[in-house]
Amino acid sequence: MQKRKKVVVAAMVAIASASIINAAVDTTISHGDQPVLTVNGTTLTNQDLFDNLRVFNGFTAALEAIDSKVMEEHFGGDARLSGIIDELYAQREAQAQQAEQPMQDLYNLYGAANKDEFVQRSGIRLNALRRLAAINQSADSIFTNQEVNFVYDNFFSGTGQVYRILISPDVSSTQLANLQGITDGMQASLQEAQGIIQRINDGELTFETAVAEYSADKTNNGYLGTFDINSAREAGMTNLVANQVFALGNEQVIAHPILTQFGYEIYMIRYTQEKPALEDVRDQVNARLFQIYANHNPFIQNYALDLFRSANNINFHDSEFARTNANMVIQNRLSYLQFNPNAPQFGF
């Protein structure tokens, strides 16, 4: 028993200090019931690792050591890892600049000579691995269908050529002097726009002819550009307009004119690429949902991470911890919706 304890302790120190395990130690990562580590013929489970690391290095060090070992296997070669590391490093760099603190001082604090050493020693790489693991787990189980469908409908679309007819109110300087005059001008523009939509739908008028004869903006024959819903927003299209335009079918004219600061606008889109099926972009949808909530929710990343650990046989969190963590996720969503009343109502 004493001999086993010495072997176990040696293994724990080696892992916790992230030193290179010597050639006499054969390591394998746990999958299901497989052993997590074999040291000179002695088999250790995840629970053995956790229990011993916790004794010698504390709970946090135990968690980080096992996290690092399992996650490096899954995500150490992931193409996304460098991007997440750069993002986390940039956050630390911004904090340092705000505090008027040179990054070299932070390097020195962690005994690092350069960025690469700092990323390792400050935990940035481990945090990036955790985020990847949580994003990966979020693709499976932690969001409702209502949440998934909301993000799919509002952030994913086909790509198409967007066309516009602009009907601007014809209001004279005399009419501008009184509210009734402005109201009359707006009402006349609305009726004109509605009539144009009806004539296009009845086949009496083509969209191109309507642009040439009626639009206040004839630039590029009404062509605004080729967009998907996200690039259209980036180009300045409001959510109100973007949501309605990219809900249209191919060459379908919008049912009702949209009032903007420029006047009443009529839209039509010609798709060059169809909207992807939900199943084809489900991972992207879940990743976006994860980022939305992770930015406002200190618990959702931990919750997803706990599911990841459980899936990889790291089972030292008891069921009460998991339930509490899950409840915190829900409560944080409730708080987020309470203080962001325009956010989607996700059923909480």
Point out the domain boundary residue: 243, 273, 303: 273
For helices 179-201 and 207-214, what crossing angle results, to 10°? 150
Asked whether residue 209 falls in the same domain as residue 247, the answer is: yes
Q: What's the pLDDT tens digit per position in 176-228? A: 556 676 777 788 899 999 999 999 999 999 999 999 999 999 999 999 999 99
CB count, 10 Å around CB of 135? 22
Q: What is the mean pLDDT of residues 249-266?
A: 92
In contact, 135 and 290? CB cutoff 8 Å: yes
Q: 255 and 320: one domain?
A: no
The residue among 228, 252, 273 that closes a domain is: 273
Candidates 84, 65, 248; CA nearest to 157 is 248
Other beta carbons within 10 Å of 275: 18
pTM as predicted: 0.56
At 272-317, the pLDDT tens digits run 999 999 989 888 888 888 887 777 666 777 777 777 777 776 654 4
Do 183 and 131 share a domain, yes or no?
no
Structural domain includes residue 332: yes
240 and 185 part of one domain: yes
Phi then psi for residue 265, to 5 deg, are -115, 140
In whole angstroms, give the CA distance from residue 175 to residue 155.
42
Q: Which one of 273, 304, 324 terminates a domain? A: 273
Kindly tell me the sign of the dihedral angle through the C-alpha atoms of 99, 100, 103, 104: negative
Report if residue 176 sits inside a domain: yes
Residues 138 and 88 in one domain: yes
User: Is residue 76 situated within a structural domain?
Assistant: no
Flag whether 24 is in a domain: yes
Structure confidence by residue, pLDDT tens digits, 305-327: 777 777 776 654 444 555 555 56
Angle between helices 124-138 and 81-98 (to 10 degrees): 130
Is 125 part of any domain? yes
In this structure, the answer to whether residues 87 and 170 fall within a common structural domain is no
Give the orientation angle of helix 278-296 with respect to helix 319-339, to 10 degrees.
80
The answer to whether 37 touches 49, Cβ cutoff 8 Å, is yes
Q: Is residue 203 one of the residues assigned to a domain?
A: yes
- The number of distinct structural domains making up the chain is 3
Q: What size, in residues, is the chain? A: 348
Alpha carbon separation from 205 to 115, 194, 275, 277 (Å, rounded): 64, 13, 28, 34
pLDDT of residue 343: 57
| Alpha-carbon dihedral 246, 248, 253, 258, rounded to 10 degrees | -50
Q: Note whether 286 and 292 are within 8 A (CB).
A: no
State phi, psi for 68 to the nearest 5 degrees.
-60, -45
Has residue 75 been placed in a domain? no
Instruction: Let me know whether 101 and 242 are in one domain.
Output: no
Residue 81 and residue 132 in contact, taking contact as beta carbons nearer than 8 Å = yes
Both 179 and 328 in one domain: the answer is no
At 224, which CATH number? Answer: 3.10.50.40
* CA distance readout (Å), 307 to 282, 313, 320: 19, 10, 14
CA 61-65-66 angle, to 5 degrees, is 120
In the prediction, which pLDDT does 313 show? 64
| Residues of the domain holding 261 | 157-273
pLDDT, mean over the chain: 77
pLDDT in tens, 98-151: 999 999 999 999 999 999 999 999 989 988 998 888 888 777 667 888 888 888
146 and 161 co-located in one domain: no
> Both 26 and 101 in a single domain?
no
Q: Is residue 249 part of a domain?
A: yes
Q: In whole angstroms, give the CA distance from residue 109 to residue 103.
A: 10
Closest CA to 31 of 312, 343, 327: 312
